Amino acid sequence: MMSAIESVPHPLDKTVHDPVWKPLFILGGIAALLAVFVFRRNLGAELVAFQGFGIFTLPEPYPIHAGDWFALLQSDPLVGFILLGFFDLVEYGLVGLIFLAVGVILWRASRAAVLLAGLCGLVGITLSFASNQAFALHSLSQRCVEAGSNAQRLICQAAGEALLAIHEHSISTYASLFLVLLAGLLLSAVMLRNSVFSRAAAVTGLLANGFGLVYFIALIFAPAFIWIPPTISAPFRMIWYFLIAIQLFRMGKKI
């Protein structure tokens, strides 16, 4: 029996040309461009690697404890939110739009694979929002500033340490990344068997998400090198989103 991702190229389902999908295709294309040029994944790591891009002042030393994060969030909240992965949440939201638009186009090609990808993506994105504690830490930092006694500040800092533990070590953080990468890999595989998206889009998607998933192998067997898979994945991901944006705009224009 033919597997879910081994679908033969199939003409576009006529329902894809329904005008109701045009706004989704346009929004998906815009989301893909924003994910390339503005809200990239791991923007905090890029900020540190490139010394604030010559624009932002990075904290020294890097904040570790809750008190350090509270101070940063009060003095420079934008940098604090970037380092805490807030822009990753925006990127995940954009990815949800991208996957939805791509899934509509690929639905007829392989419904099982698209459905599985959609489920993985939805659960992964939901987990990413649930595990990120940037807003909670910012709110707690404000409460700590307004605290009227040392005892209250100590309570706030203890709560902050608990939030940091959830933010940095929660299994949900890893599960969300794994599921979103898996969803992208499935959609890329369907692209490879479908004539709507270019072969270049399919291959770059496979490379971007495939190298991204290698992160988890490195995490288990070679944690000292966990930075390598995301670094290799990043340029392929940017190209993938850009090629998707082009095709989504074309689809929107055809309707």
Return d(Cα 176, Cα 188) in angstroms, integer.
18
Amino acid at 16: V
pLDDT for the residue numbered 3: 46
Domain presence at residue 161: no
Domain presence at residue 53: yes
Domain presence at residue 24: yes
Domain presence at residue 21: yes
Number of domains in the chain: 1
Domain presence at residue 8: no
What is the span of the domain harbouring residue 113? Answer: 14-61+85-131+171-254
Residue 64, classified by CB atoms within 10 Å of its CB into exposed (0-12), middle (13-18) or buried (19+), is: exposed
| CA-closest candidate to residue 44, choices 132, 116, 130, 142 | 132
Mean pLDDT of the chain, nearest integer? 87
pTM over 0.75: yes
Domain presence at residue 75: no
What's the token pair of residue 191? 């692209």
pLDDT for the residue numbered 96: 96
Domain presence at residue 217: yes
Give the total residue count for the chain: 255
Measured in whole angstroms, the distance separating CA 152 from the mean position of its chain's CA atoms is 36
pLDDT digits (tens, 9 = 90+) for 13-61: 555 667 788 999 999 999 999 999 888 877 777 787 777 777 888 888 8
pLDDT digits (tens, 9 = 90+) for 79-126: 999 899 888 899 999 999 999 999 999 998 899 999 999 999 999 999
pLDDT band at 226 (very low <50, low <70, confident <90, very high): confident
What is the percent of the chain with per-residue pLDDT over 70, rounded to a whole number?
Answer: 93
Return d(Cα 199, Cα 41) in angstroms, integer.
24
